[in-house]
Amino acid sequence: MTRWNVARRDLIVYFANSTWYGPAGTDRHITRALSAHAPVLYVEPPVSMLTALRNPAYARSLAQAPPVEVLDERMARAVTTVAPGMTKRGLHHLTAPMVRRAVRGIVDGLIGPGREPVAALVSCRAKPLWGALPARRRLFYATDDLPAGAALLGEPRERLLRDEARTLRGADVVAVVSPGLRERYAAGGHDAVVVPNGCLPAAYDGVDTAALPDDVDLPGPIAGFVGYLNHRIDVSLLSAVARTGVSLLIVGPVVPGYDISGLVSRPNVRWVGAKDFDELPSYLRLIDVGLTPYADTEFNRASFPLKTLEYLAAGRRVVATPLPANDWLGTDLIAVASGPAEFAARVEREVAAPRDSAPRRAFAQEHTWERRAAVLAGLLGINRPAGTGPGSRSAPRAADG
């Protein structure tokens, strides 16, 4: 294992809900920004041998990247291995202990054995992982309403609620991605700070002069969707847009079982598949209006769509379905519409309007990942001098899980 020249006392261990490689999401963006404050070990979701056998694409990604990897002087990533059946009844209780033990070994291997507390543990997972390492600060960062997404995650809701309750009890501080999550935790007696998704406006500085992609031949104006196509997305809204005759560009992977064959068979629709983050400006150059067509579900109402701010950062108009996250942003730069007919009609109005990128890009500058990470760093006490501010040098908490 490659050694990492990092002091244990400075380290943040971040238990992510997504893999490092692949489309960049909340976990990757926030940890990159957080690494400006302290070095971060990014711990991917656990895998078993069955995971690789059932998902050849994931097996290939595992073969291309080592299980523990120093990315640079401020970031490292790791993936832990657990027993098969990690969500099955009778076996699920083994997962958290195996992850905790693996992370202890990974940290010892990267920076050397020791008992000194790390700066912080940040967990986005329901399962109790605080016992992995002693830490001066433990922060639960709810980037989704996991119990509400139990069906998508393949775990019983009641189990997720029990795991989440244990994790909340062991946390020193709680952050949430949306106002809806803050309200849910407040009802259970847990105060939480809203730290929503952000954006990288600088990544889109050259969007209007970016190289044109060679896999799109749609006439303008163009409405576009960028992101994962999964059961969070209401495909009927995209179909309604396509039926108006407006060109529709779709950029992103499709999860197994989510059928878009009828949509992409239309002559005015192009689906170009998953693209790396640094390729997105080329596709956003073509888009006049970005779409956030979320289905009206409990899971989605607690979310904070990353794509909405990315469209604004690229200077593009946005049409989105109603969400508390839109209300939290408090701007009229997001056109809100519900139902296929209303959504499609609003898209027609927006694509007919002239591009006006300046106010949108200016708004996005107020919601950068750097600003979000600074809030998290403050909650962890790592951006204050030693000994000042609550919790900055507190004694390690006794583990609860």
Beta strands in 269-363 (DSSP E): 269-271, 289-292, 317-320, 334-336
pLDDT at 186 over 70: yes
- Which carries the bigger pLDDT value, residue 322 or residue 393? 322
Of 78-92, 121-135, 161-175, the one with minimum mean pLDDT is 78-92
Which of 78-92, 114-128, 356-370 is least confident? Answer: 78-92
Q: What is the model's pLDDT at position 400? A: 45
Confidence at 393, pLDDT banded by 50, 70, 90? very low
pLDDT of residue 388: 37
pLDDT of residue 64: 67
Fold match flag (8-198+369-380 vs 201-364): yes
| Residue 58 confidence (pLDDT) | 57
Q: Quick one: CATH architecture of 8-198+369-380? A: 3-Layer(aba) Sandwich (3.40)
Q: Among 83-97, 199-213, 279-293, 354-368, name the one with the lowest average pLDDT.
A: 83-97
pLDDT digits (tens, 9 = 90+) for 62-75: 666 788 999 999 99
pLDDT the model gives residue 399: 42
Average pLDDT estimate for 267-272: 97
Report helix, strand or coil for 28: helix
User: Tokens 């300046």 sit at which residue?
Assistant: 358
Cβ-contact 12, 382 below 8 angstroms: yes
Written as six digits, the tokens of 39 are: 């070095």
pLDDT of residue 81: 84
Query: What's residue 174's pLDDT?
Result: 97
pLDDT of residue 86: 54
Residue 56 has a pLDDT of 59
The pLDDT, as a whole number, for residue 386 is 41
Alpha-carbon gap, residue 4 to 7, rounded angstroms: 9
- Which CATH code fits 201-364? 3.40.50.2000
Using the CB atoms, write b or e for 130-147: b if 16+ within 10 Å: bbbbbbbbbbbbbbbbbb
Asked if omega into 196 is within 30° of 0 (cis), the reply is no
Note if the pTM is more than 0.85. Answer: yes
Q: What average pLDDT does the segment 262-278 reach? A: 94
Domain ranges of the chain: 8-198+369-380, 201-364
| Residue % of the chain over a pLDDT of 70 | 88
Contact 166, 333 (CB under 8 A): no
pLDDT, residue 387, reads 39
CB 310 within 8 A of CB 29: no
Residue 182: pLDDT above 50?
A: yes
Query: What is the model's pLDDT at position 394?
Result: 40
Rounded mean pLDDT of 354-375? 96
pLDDT of residue 11 exceeding 50, the answer is: yes
